[in-house]
Chains A and B, each alone.
Chain A
Amino acid sequence: MAIIEASNLSMTYRLGDIDLHALSNLTLTIEKGEFVAVMGPSGSGKSTFMNILGCLDRPTGGTYVLDGQEVGDISRDDLAGIRNKKIGFVFQGFNLLPRTSALENVELPMLYAGLSQAERTKKAMAALKSVGLEGREHHHPNQLSGGQQQRVAIARALVNDAPIILADEPTGNLDTKTSNEIMELLVKLNNDENITVILVTHENDIAAYSRRVIRFVDGALVSDTRQEQRR
């Protein structure tokens, strides 16, 4: 079953007199449970693509159907609702709330989903445990290493049982060893929970964890290959 169906997606930024085509005519289908790596040179439109997939931004052309729902012209708040329930974001810079404990960071999506405090705490503790951060619940981001912070972000991404994790260069700020640990965690989630993972990376080593690699050049999809997953 296709969880992501993009047809003729395009994104054009107007910069003064010239139009900048950050994405042009992109058609792509991603099935539930896939592990996709998005690659391409800097400025090729990878982040733009991810922002559209994540309902953070709206394409200027084409249609995007997420989990059976066309999201082209739904309201701002409905988009927020979709982000809350269907998408878990993992960013290069972690994007955790400062001066806020790991536990509370992980509770955040459930806060906006309207869960009670007791439920939030319970699920957040479980999520932190599943990413191997048991005992670190009350540490603040500045008391955690980069790898640990990214684990908190992953826990936050999966705590609302989102079917999709979107990761824009999740290992960009981490060393090789930590990067591999994070990737193994994502592979595990992909295998065990059947979570669809789409990640942007510049590194072939990281892309090797995926089963499908798509490449962008100047906003256009230039290749789409399937491969054996490195374990």
Chain B
Amino acid sequence: MISFSSTFKLSFRALRVNKMRSALTMLGIIIGVGAVIAMLAVGTGASSQITEQISKMGSNMIMIVPGTTTAGGVRMGAGTQSTLTMDDAAAIQKECSAVSAVAPVHNGAAQVVSGHLNWSTGITGTTPGMLEVRDWPLSAGRPFTDQDVRSATKVCLLGQTVVDNLFGSADPLGQIIRIKKIPFTVIGVLGPKGQSPNGQDQDDTIYVPVTTAQKKLFGTTMPGMVRVIMVKAKSAADLAVAERQINDLLKQRHHIGPRQDNDFTVRNLTQMMQAAEQSSKVMTMLLGAIASVSLLVGGIGIMNIMLVSVTERTREIGIRMAIGAKTWDIRYQFIIEALTLSMIGGTAGIAIGLGGSKVLSMLAGWPTVVSVPSILLSFGFSGLIGIFFGYYPAYKASLLDPIDALRYE
């Protein structure tokens, strides 16, 4: 059997004879591999962005909103406008064992003024538990306390975006801002979190004690009413248990019989986000699959050229056979030739793919992540394509009759 390095030299020489043809044949693979890498980079970029947002949003989160959810969407429970209260939140905290933190939320939008600057933003009235639910550390100052909540003090925590718009680079701590013309003291700044999975700027917010929001800012239709209760389960494994416990507890507290619709909805945010993450992964695979079609087309190009090459070199094959080349010597030679074509194409394709994903992320503003597995995958795939599509021409060449091949004009 003829050695690998000799075979490789042979194929390299053969490819050099028809430089232009070899280059054009490679182009198919180059584009294919480039497309696979770039598409996977776009897809992986999107899902890693979602993953990052999920971890920033806070983990193991459950959200309880008033009203019932049916297949048709949200509709309000009969006769109850807003059914969640501070007491519900307290009860969840006390009785649901799978829950680690609870934060009732009463929120609204308002105009905020500091000096001559003003800014419109969402005001979230909540309890100190919120920072734990959302895994949200402060970048400066202190959080408000349970005492602040009990006595409805006029203190606030500012999101980074609000700080930027009202204070620029000045220190906001201890400053007074006016929300709906009511003065609040800034006691802390929330650490920057970036965009939420649905594209909202999470830093464009102000946290105030929930009681202050109820009494001074947005009012309530009934005492202690809240719009949302945010809950953090003890762990990912506890999410389902927590959901069930909350469901049971609120049913009991709201006197809802077994036949009646709930007047509240429990949403497992983490699960929803994971579903989004999952679908973006599916999207990535889909993009990759579509791009691999072009790789396949490149492979067919290789097969085509190899068939032409075998025909053109019939006489050469005859000479080699007459001189002692065995079936596999010939087959090997043409397979290696196809493999060389596809691997050189694959290598160039990786470069194109890397460049392409850079350009894509610059033009479209998407993050793209080129993963090492995607490079190895497409490189290996192009090799396989070379072998797969090179095999048939090589097989044909190796089975030629030496005499017929020698006589071929």
A interface residues, Cβ below 8 angstroms from B: 51, 54, 56-57, 76-77, 80-81, 83-85, 89, 91, 95-100, 108-109, 111-114, 117, 156, 160
**Interchain CB contact under 8 A, B17 and A56:** no
Residue pair B326, A112 in contact (C-beta under 8 Å): yes
Q: How large is the interface on B (under 10, 10 to 19, 20 to 34, 35 or more residues)?
A: 20 to 34
With contacts A56-B402, A97-B319 taken as known, whether A117 is within 8 angstroms of B6 at the C-beta atoms is yes
User: C-beta contact mask, B313-330 vs A, less than 8 Å → 1, else 0?
Assistant: 001101111111111110
Of the residues A84, A97, A108, A114, contact of B1 by C-beta under 8 Å: A114
Q: Is B272 an interface residue (CB 8 A)?
A: no
Q: Does B182 contact A (CB under 8 A)?
A: no
With a cutoff of 8 Å between Cβ atoms, the chain B residues found around residue A97 in the complex are 316, 319
> B321 near A80 (CB under 8 angstroms)?
yes
Q: Are A85 and B322 in contact (CB under 8 A)?
A: no
22 A–B contact pairs at CB < 8 A?
Answer: A51-B403, A54-B322, A56-B322, A56-B403, A77-B327, A80-B325, A83-B322, A85-B324, A91-B406, A95-B318, A95-B406, A96-B319, A98-B316, A99-B17, A100-B13, A108-B319, A108-B320, A112-B323, A113-B324, A114-B1, A114-B3, A117-B6
Report how many A-B pairs have Cβ atoms within 8 Å: 62
Contacts of B3 in A (CB 8 A): 114
Checking B326, B403, B406 against A77 with a beta-carbon cut-off of 8 angstroms, the contacting residue is B326
Instruction: Note all chain B residues with C-beta closer than 8 A to A76.
Output: 326-327
Nearest-neighbour CB distance to chain B for A165, whole angstroms, equals: 13
Contact partners of A51 in chain B: CB under 8 A: 403
A156 in contact with B17 (CB, 8 Å)? no
Q: Indicate whether B282 reaches chain A with its CB closer than 8 angstroms.
A: no
Give complex CA distance A108, B229 in Å: 83
CB within 8 Å for A84 and B323 given contacts A111-B2, A114-B1, A117-B6? yes
B322's nearest neighbour on chain A, judged by CB, is A89
Give the distance to chain B from A3, nearest Cβ to Cβ, in Å: 18
Given A97-B316, A117-B6, A112 and B324 contact (CB-CB distance below 8 Å):
yes
Contact flag A57-B327 (CB < 8 Å), given A99-B17, A111-B6, A114-B1: no
Say whether B1 contacts A83, CB under 8 Å.
no
Distance of A156 Cα from B321 Cα, bound (Å): 14
Contacts of A112 in B (CB 8 A): 2, 320, 323-326, 329
Most buried by A among B315, B323, B327, B402: B323
Q: A97 to nearest B CB, angstroms?
A: 6
Most B CB atoms within 10 A — which of A81, A99, A111?
Answer: A111
